[in-house]
Structure 1
Amino acid sequence: MTPDEFAAKVLPAIEAACQSNCLCAEPGFRKLLSFDFDDYGTGPVALADSEIVGDAIVLRRFKLVGKVEDPPIGFALRRYECPQCGAVCVAQFDEYSISMNRTVFRFESPGKAAESGLYLVGFRGFKREDFAKVTDFERTESQEEFLRSLGVV
C-alpha cells in the first residue's frame, strides 16, 4: 500500500475512531506512534504508517502545550495534549537530510505500548538492510487487522 492509498483508505477510519473514542490508551496505537529507529541500533529509518497517523492525529488534533526546554542539538521536542483524555505526548522531530526526517511520539501519561505492531505502508531510510533490524513490527495486507491492532475496530 502506498502512503497516498493509506491516507485515502485507512486514515479516515482512524480519524473517525479518534472523534468518537480516544485511542491514547490503546497499546497498539502507542506502539505505532512510538516507532524509533534508535531502539534498534540502526541508521535513520522512518515508519511511514507512524508518520502519517502521528501527523494527522497528534500534530493536527492535539493541542500544543509547549516546547521541551533545552533539547539536544538537532532535535525539536514539543508537548501535545489530547483534547479528549488530556494525555500528553512528546513529539520529537529530527532532520537528517533534505529528503530524510522523522517524528517519534512518546506518551508521558501512564499506559503501555504493545510488544509488537503492524504496518501497511512500511519503512523508508538510507539503507534497506537497516529495515531487517526491526523485528517487533510486521507487515500486514489486511486493513482490518491493522485497524484492530490500533484499537479502532
Structure 2
Amino acid sequence: MDSTARRDNIQDAVPTAKFLQARITALSTTLIKRLENIFAVALDETAAETTTSASTRDQPPPSLIDTAVQQFQLDVESAAVIRAAEEILVLTRTMKEIWLFGGLDTLERDHEDDKNPRDEAARQKLEEDVRVVEEGFKKFLEKYETTLELDGPETETAGHGG
C-alpha cells in the first residue's frame, strides 16, 4: 500500500510535457550560450592580433594580467558548462523515473496546441544557436589546424637536421 500511495503522489507531482520541453530548451540554450562565451574568449581577435604582431614586430607578448583575466573567464564559463550539463543529466534522470513509473503522459494532455507560434519561434532560435556554435567550432578548428600545420613541418625539419 505504501508503494501505491507513493505512485499516486508521483503522478500528482509529475511535470507536464510542456514544462519538460521548456526546461530542455532553457538548459540547451544555457549550454549553447556558455559555449559561445568560451569561443568568444578563445577566439578573441585582439589576443590573436597581439600574438601575430608580437612575433612580426618584436612587441611584448600579452601581459600576465590579460592572460589571467582570460584564464579566469575560461574557468568561469567551463564551470558553467559543467553545471548546465549536470542539470541536463538530472533532468534526464527525472524523465526516466517519470517514464518508468508511468507518469509521463505526453500524448493526450500536452499536444492539444502543437501549432503554438512560440514553440516554432523557440525551435527556430535553437536551430540558429546550434548553427552559431557550429560556426564557432569550425573557426576554432581552422585556427588550430593552421597552427598545427605551421608548427608541424618546422619541428620535423629541426628534428631531422640535428
Shorter chain as denominator, the TM-score bin is under 0.3
TM-score by length of 2: 0.20
User: Which has the larger Rg?
Assistant: 2
Compare relative contact order (CA 8 Å, sep 6+) and give the higher one, 1 or 2. 2
Greater strand percent: which structure? 1
TM-score (norm 1): 0.20
Whose helix proportion is higher, 1 or 2? Answer: 2
